[in-house]
Amino acid sequence: MLLVLVPFVFWLIAFLALPFAGMLISSFQHADGQGFTFAQYVKALTHPLYTQSLLNSVWLSFVSSLVGLVIAVFASYSFTRFSAKTRDVLLNISNIFNNFSGVPLAFAFMIILGTNGMFTLLFDKLGMGFLNFDLRSLKGLIVVYTYFQIPLAILLVYPSLYAIREEWKESAALLGASTWQFWRYIGVPVLLPSLVGTFSVLFANAMGALATAYALTVRNVNLLTIQINSLVTGDVFPRQELGSALAVVLFVILLIALFINEKMLQLVRKGS
Amino acid sequence: MSNPARTARSKGRWWHIGVTSVVLAVLIIPLLATFLFSISTVWQNTILPDGLTLEWYGRLFSDERFLYAIGRSFLVSAVTVVISLAIMVPAIFVVVLYFPGLEKMLQSVVLLPFALPGVVTAVGLIKIYSSGPIAISGTIWILIGAYFIVIMPYVYQSTRNSLRSIHAAQLMEAAEVLGAGKVKAFVFVILPNIMPGMMVASLLSFSILFSEFVLANMLVGGSYEVVQVYLHRMLATDGHMSSAIVFTFFVIISLLFALVLRIGRGKSRKMNATSATPADNEGGVTA
Amino acid sequence: MQEKRQWTKPMMFGVMLVLAFMLAACGSNKGGANSSSEGDNGGEDKILTLEELVPLAQKEGKVVSVGMPDAWANWEETWRDLKEKYNLDHSDTDMGSVDEINKFAAEKNNPTADIGDVGIAFGPMAVEKGVTQPFKTEYWDEIPDWAKDKEGHWIVGYTGSIAFLCNKELVSKCPKSWADVENNGGEYQLAVGDVAGAAQAQNGVLAAALAFGGDEGNIDPGIEYFKRLAQKGLISKADVTVPNIQKGEVAVAILWDFNALGYREQIDPDKFEVAIPEEGSVISGYATIINKYAPHPNAAKLARTYILSDAGQINLAKGFARPIRQNVQLPEEVAAKLIPSEQYKNVKPVKDYKVWENTVKGLGERWLEEVQIHIK
């Protein structure tokens, strides 16, 4: 039985554990690549530039994941209520948008909501200028991030919503339960583990995103991945060690998020 | 005689149509904008483009570099997805059913790829694999190796959600009670039932790999130019051409996915002939 | 059963981790004899000329470059020439200067790249990291001292100066000086690009510094200038890329003159104006580096020689970059497209790149702390 796991573990070691180990080692070194020190972590966790980036990234990821997930649950559920053919088409369409990320997405948003964007100009012309907002800000990024979270979330929760059988709803209705009650006592609890797991992936996806934010705002919005990127690549004198420390911090944040999710899941289960 | 369930259903129907339409509309608008830019001559500070043209597409399709790039992207993504599913799905299944204690660790491990910046991974991998017995740096294999890790979290999550929704443990028990060995039970009972989940996983992974740039550029770059590398070049040079590339890319992907879904549905319907799943409601709208 | 399951889990994890650390440690110490194609005679007496290099390069058959894409300074034509004249195949992977150096270093046991083009500030870094091989070329004496490494580890092929690109359709009066931008009354914003990560943007700040009495060691006047702009809401948050310019997101941009002229030519020559800021600007160069472990060293040397030859320099001029060799006779149409030389009278080079290197190291942070926080 364990044998089944061997190829997987082997792959993990070869392509994940090794680079990660290298990065981990590097994060404990001095700026010249030698020795052992906590200095990089101290800088990463106390310097206002980096702490601000942590907060911004966490906030951005949290909001975009939550909103994206909620929208996706409603959408996925609606999808499942159509015929098989329509379902497939809808799923297909929504999956296509998983390909939309990075620079092309940033540029597309610029076309519609940028300084000279289609809707920006339209709203101004129609006197609805108050609807316009600055795309190149944290708020703007929340909008864009939510956009690319939606198709991912739909795809991940769809199989679970599929499992909410029509018969359950009808039985519940016959027993006198309203739609709200059905969801509260049957639907959501059944879905909860999948929702929580999906939220973790969404959160991680947003935390790790770089290309879209960079394309839109360069470094004008302070995000963790942008900071890491600027330390290890580009026309800079690289500070690999600090970059590694920040990346490890990123990973720890993801672990914490996972942990919090699990705890909440347990609490909800105990409660009901 | 009023049927509360049926009234609820038809009221619900409008709700579902509404929600679906709104979500799809929101998703499509940026894509349409890209398409519009790809057929415009100039579109600078006006609500709509100055003029329309197919010039950009003409240039694109006469560039064989583009066509080769698409081919390469396909190859790498498809190979990685197939290998990944073959290795990961059984592994996840085994962990979930027989080693649940390991699952917490697995959940943490699958988060690692998000924390590894592409650049860091690439440099690390090149260092490790440019010498010794497995000198695969610069070849397509190091890219496949890295890509396996990239899609790992998504394959895990989709498979996990699927296994949960089909109550895999009970199904296995039932199958074994009926006399099937573990392997047979897995292949003939579990797999068909998680087919939708696996379809999801493979399409999602394919999308992600197709759009991946940093690793492709640093690990193989110009020597095995994939679509994203080609696109990246264009993005620095011309917005119209790059929009055309993006849109074409979308069209190709949708055609491919439609094909895969059709095949997947056909297969799973055959295998589902006797199983009890909520799949394939042949009748009309069930809202 | 419970007991067994409880410690298999941490044990497996432990084993994995130990294995990982072991292998990682091994990997980083593996100096390894590299399959040496180091046959270089760059530092020796006889420097091979173009003609002598040709047969040697042809035996190798191809040249692999990094950071030298077709669209930058017209590299396209040089690669085409190498193919048509000497039958050398070519492929390029675009990446930033540091990535190129890292790639050379990481791949040393299994190298794929031969030659790269880096901002002059990164030439010394490449030498320090030990990833270059020297090769002076037959044009050695015609290259000014500031533009070459003493032994030929890096040689500047072309120079650029910081300039303004202005979209006449979005701006009523295109700026000719830093002061013009500052006093435009809010009509447009200036796009600088990524100061923390792009040499072009960093040099933009340096150019402003030089214009207002500073230099590579004293960048304060430059920072001050941009701080004032930010406070007046005159700095754009968009990146200085072609699509952004095409979509009207960027009205005025700070770019290398060869990029500004190139973009103008590509988008619409009538719509844009390019000008070197009157008060002053900076001139800098990009230098080729040849990989110490290059799999096709002679092809790389041929490429560098060609780039510095008359034909190569004219190609660069067609890409709007200013050739490093002043004595190359440019055809009239090509010369006519460059910015008139009078505009360059206040353009200064960096005198000490070690000093500039130090400045750049802290520049990203300074920008963030002193300028970016004011950007609206």
Residues of B in contact with A232 (CB under 8 A): 117, 119-120
Running DSSP on this structure, what letter comes out for residue B218?
I
The reported pLDDT for the residue numbered C26 is 37
Q: What is the H or E stretch that residue C357 is in?
A: helix C353-366
- Same domain, yes or no, for C127 and C238? no
Mutate to test the interface with C, among B131, B136, B218, B230 (most CBs of C within 10 A): B131
Q: Which residues of chain C have pLDDT under 70?
A: 1-45
Residue spans of the domains in chain A: they are 47-69+99-150+187-271
The reported pLDDT for the residue numbered B279 is 38
The reported pLDDT for the residue numbered B3 is 60
- Same domain, yes or no, for C196 and C255? yes
Question: Is C15 contained in some domain?
Answer: no
Give ipTM to 2 decimals.
0.82
- Same domain, yes or no, for C241 and C105? no
Distance from CA of C20 to the nearest CA of A (A): 5
Q: Which subunits count as partners of chain C given 3+ CB pairs below 8 Å? A: A, B
Task: Quote the number of domains for chain C.
Answer: 2
Beta bridge partners of C115: C65, C290
- Same domain, yes or no, for C170 and C235? yes
Question: Is C18 contained in some domain?
Answer: no
Determine the Cα angle at B69 with ends B67 and B70, to 5°: 65
The share of chain B scoring above pLDDT 70, in percent, equals 84
Q: Which residues of chain B have a Cβ shorter than 8 Å from any chain C Cβ?
A: 37, 42-45, 99, 101-102, 105, 119, 123, 126-132, 135, 137-138, 217-218, 221-223, 225, 229, 232-233, 235-240, 242
Q: Are A13 and C365 inside 8 Å of each other by CB? A: no
- Same domain, yes or no, for C152 and C273? no
* Cβ pair A107, B239 in contact under 8 A: yes
Q: Are C246 and B130 inside 8 Å of each other by CB? A: no
Q: How far apart are CA A103 and CA C305, in angstroms?
A: 36
The dotted CATH code for A47-69+99-150+187-271 is 1.10.3720.10
Give the count of beta carbons closer than 10 Å to the beta carbon of residue B262: 12
- Same domain, yes or no, for C155 and C171? no
Confidence of residue B269 (pLDDT cuts 50, 70, 90): low
- Same domain, yes or no, for B44 and B95? no
- Same domain, yes or no, for C183 and C91? no
- Same domain, yes or no, for B108 and B71? yes
Range of the domain at C191: 160-280+343-374
Question: Helix B118-129 and helix A240-271: axis angle, to 10°?
Answer: 120
- Same domain, yes or no, for B223 and B267? yes
Give the count of beta carbons closer than 10 Å to the beta carbon of residue C18: 10
pLDDT tens track for A167-215: 777 788 888 878 777 777 777 777 888 888 889 889 988 998 888 888 8
User: Which whole number is the average pLDDT over A112-120?
Assistant: 85
Q: Which residues of B171-207 are buried (b: 16+ CB within 10 A; e: fewer)?
A: bbeebeeeebeeeebbeebbbbbbbbbbbbbbbbbbb
Of B44, B99, B217, the CB nearest to C95: B217
The reported pLDDT for the residue numbered B87 is 92
Task: Quote the number of domains for chain B.
Answer: 2
CA-wise closest residue to A56 among A258, A237, A220: A220
- Same domain, yes or no, for B120 and B219? yes
Question: Is C222 contained in some domain?
Answer: yes
Beta bridge partners of C65: C92, C115
- Same domain, yes or no, for B14 and B82? no
Range of the domain at B254: 56-274
- Same domain, yes or no, for B203 and B153? yes
- Same domain, yes or no, for B129 and B185? yes
User: Which whole number is the average pLDDT over A160-172?
Assistant: 75
The reported pLDDT for the residue numbered B285 is 31
- Same domain, yes or no, for B223 and B139? yes
Q: Residue C257's domain is classified under what CATH number?
A: 3.40.190.10
Give the count of beta carbons closer than 10 Å to the beta carbon of residue B78: 15
Residues of A in contact with B143 (CB under 8 A): none
pLDDT tens track for B91-118: 998 888 888 888 888 888 888 887 777 7
Placement of tokens 């004032």 in the chain:
C228
pLDDT tens track for A17-48: 888 888 888 888 887 767 788 888 888 888 88
- Same domain, yes or no, for B106 and B226? yes
Question: Is C4 contained in some domain?
Answer: no
Question: Is B282 contained in some domain?
Answer: no
Question: Is B287 contained in some domain?
Answer: no
Q: Residue B242's domain is classified under what CATH number?
A: 1.10.3720.10
Residues 6+ apart with CB under 8 A from A47: none
- Same domain, yes or no, for C221 and C321? no
- Same domain, yes or no, for B157 and B227? yes
- Same domain, yes or no, for B152 and B70? yes
- Same domain, yes or no, for B36 and B69? no
The reported pLDDT for the residue numbered C85 is 93
The reported pLDDT for the residue numbered C226 is 94
Q: Are C98 and A218 inside 8 Å of each other by CB? A: no
Q: Are B222 and C28 inside 8 Å of each other by CB? A: no
Of C20, C239, C365, the CB nearest to A18: C20
- Same domain, yes or no, for C352 and C311? no
The reported pLDDT for the residue numbered A234 is 63
Question: Is C44 contained in some domain?
Answer: no
The reported pLDDT for the residue numbered C45 is 55
Residue B160: closest CA among chain A residues belongs to which residue?
A194
Residues of A in contact with B12 (CB under 8 A): 81, 179
Total CB pairs under 8 A between chain A and C: 101
Of B44, B137, B221, the CB nearest to C247: B44
Running DSSP on this structure, what letter comes out for residue C47?
P
